[in-house]
Amino acid sequence: MGNKVAAVIGGGVIGGGWAARFLLNGWDVQIFDPDPQAERKVGEVLANARRSTPGLVDVVLPAEGKLTFHDTIEGAVDGAVWIQESVPEQLAIKHKTFAQIQGVCAPDAVIGSSTSGFKPSQLQEGAARPGQIIVAHPFNPVYLLPLIEVVPTAENTPAFLDGAEAILTSMGFYPLRVRKEIDAHIADRFLEAVWREALWLVKDGIATTEEIDNAIRYGFGIRWAQMGLFETYRVAGGEAGMKHFMAQFGPCLSWPWTKLMDVPEFTDELVDLIAGQSDAQSGAYSIRELERIRDNNLVSMMRALKAQDWGAGALMNAQEATLRAASPTGTRIDQMADVSTPLLTVHRAVPLDWTDYNGHMTEAKYLQVFGDATDRFMNMIGCDAEYIGAGGSYFTAETHIRHVDEALAGAVIAVRTQVLSGAGKKMHLFHELFEGERLLATGEHFLLHVNLETRRPSEPSAPVLAALERVADAHAALPSPKGVGRAVGQRP
C-alpha cells in the first residue's frame, strides 16, 4: 500500500510549509507553482523542517514521502486525497484555481485554502462542488505550529469535516473549527488588533519596533503561549477567579486606552519609519538565519510544554502515542516470536535542544538515550507503569558509556539492546547507539530489581523474570559486543 498523496498549489512560504508537514508525516507531495524559483524556495523551507520537526517527538516520524513538482495543476492533483491551495490572496485567482482543481480531482478529496482573509462562502461561489472546499488556515511555520483554523459553510457535510479534521489531527495539527464564518477568522483578528495598536505606538513615538517586540516576548507572549487569553486572566483573578478579574479590570474597557477603532494613515513616512526600525532591530540576520533561530526557540518551548503535557505539548504527546503504538519499540516480549537478535529499544531524532556548543549531542543526552532504552526494555519485559505502581522496579547500579562518534541535530538514531545476563534480581544490558549503520556510542548498564516499599533488592515477578530469561537465553548465543567490560581510559 503506497503513501497517501497531497497536492500543494502554490509553493511560497505557506505552501512550502504545508509540503514539509505532509512529507515529514509520510505523505507523497505533488506541487504546482509557476514560479521558476519554486523548487529552490520549497527546498529551503524543507531543509529547515527536516532539521527541526523530527525533534518534536521522541519516536521516529514515518519515512519521508516523495516530493515532485508538476507543470500543471492537473498533474499535481492527480490521486491527491488532500489539496491545499496557497495562491495569492486575490479572489479571482482562487476561483480560477478551484475550477481547474475540481475539473480533474477526486470528488471526495479535501480542498483546503490557506486564505487568511476570505470566507469559505466567498471561495465556494461558482464552484462545481462547493461542499469540497473549506478554509484550512495555518500559521507559519506550518511544519511546527499546530493550529489550523477550519472554517466551513453549510455546504460542507459533518462527515466531510470530520474526515478532514481526522487527517489534520493525524499530522499533529489542532483543527479549530470556526463556528461561524467571519472576516479574518479568529486568530488573525487578534493579531490585527495588536498590529494596529503597535502601529500607533510607533507612529506616536511611544515605542520602537524592538521595544514593542520585547514587551511581547518578555511578558504576556510567554503566558499566552502556554495558557491563552481567558485562562491567563482567570489566574490573574486569584482565588476569586474570573469574576473577580472581570470586576477589577472590566471598567478599563471604557477608558481610552487603545485606538483600536481608529487606524493610522498608512503613509510612506510611517512605512519608512517602521522598516528602518525593523532593519536596525533585525538586519544583522538573514531571513534563513531568523527562521532557524525561530525554529530553535519554538522547538525548545514546545518540548518544554510537552514535558508538562500542556497546551501544544499535549497535542505532540497524543501524536507521539499513536506513532509509538505503530513502532517496534512498543512491542512486548510476549508478543514477539523471535528475540534472538538485539532488540530495537529507541528510534527517534536528535532534537535541536539536545546539542551543545560543539554542535553535537551533549554527554547528558547520550545517557538519556541509554536510560530511555533501558526503560523501554523494562516495559517490553512487563516492568511497565502498572508493575511499577504495584511496587516493583529495576534500579541502575552501574553505567559505562563509550563515545565513539558524534550525533548532530536532526539525525535519526536507533538503540539496539543486547541482554548480557538476566537471572534472579540481576539484569545486565548492553546498548549500541547507531545513526544508520554508523556506531555512535555504547552503554553498558547493570541493574538490580528493587522492592519500592523497602527500597531493597528483591526478586521480580514470575512473568517479568520469565520474559527477561527468555531474552537472556536467546542472546547468550550472540558474540560478546565490542566494548563490554571496558574501563575508563583503556586503549581499544
Q: What is the pLDDT of residue 383?
A: 97
330 assigned to a ligand binding site: no
Architecture of the domain whose range is 5-177: 3-Layer(aba) Sandwich (3.40)
Architecture of the domain whose range is 187-284: Orthogonal Bundle (1.10)
Cβ contact 430:420 at 8 Å: yes
Cα(375)–Cα(345) distance, integer angstroms: 9
pLDDT tens per residue, range 37-77: 999 999 999 999 998 998 888 888 999 999 999 999 999 99
Residue 102 in this model has a pLDDT that exceeds 90: yes
14 assigned to a ligand binding site: yes
The answer to which of 94-103, 244-253, 257-266, 480-489 has the lowest mean pLDDT is 244-253
5 assigned to a ligand binding site: no
Q: What is the pLDDT of residue 234?
A: 83
Cβ contact 53:292 at 8 Å: no
pLDDT tens per residue, range 361-420: 999 999 999 999 999 999 999 999 999 999 999 999 999 999 999 999 889 999 999 999
Cα(239)–Cα(326) distance, integer angstroms: 44
Burial of 21 (0-12, 13-18, 19+ CB in 10 A): buried
The answer to which of 19-28, 58-67, 68-77, 103-112 has the lowest mean pLDDT is 58-67
Residue 329 in this model has a pLDDT that exceeds 90: no
High-pLDDT (> 70) share of the chain, %: 98
160: closest CA among 122, 106, 79? 106
10 assigned to a ligand binding site: yes
Cα(419)–Cα(329) distance, integer angstroms: 16
Single-letter amino acid code for the residue at 402: R
Residue 311 in this model has a pLDDT that exceeds 70: yes
What are the domain boundaries of the chain? Answer: 5-177, 187-284, 331-475
12 assigned to a ligand binding site: yes
| Domain 331-475 CATH superfamily | Hotdog Thioesterase (3.10.129.10)
**Residue 75: CB atoms within 10 Å:** 14
178 assigned to a ligand binding site: no
Higher pLDDT, 237 or 443: 443
Which of 245-259, 276-290, 469-483 has the highest average model confidence (pLDDT)?
A: 469-483
Q: Which pTM value belongs to this model?
A: 0.83
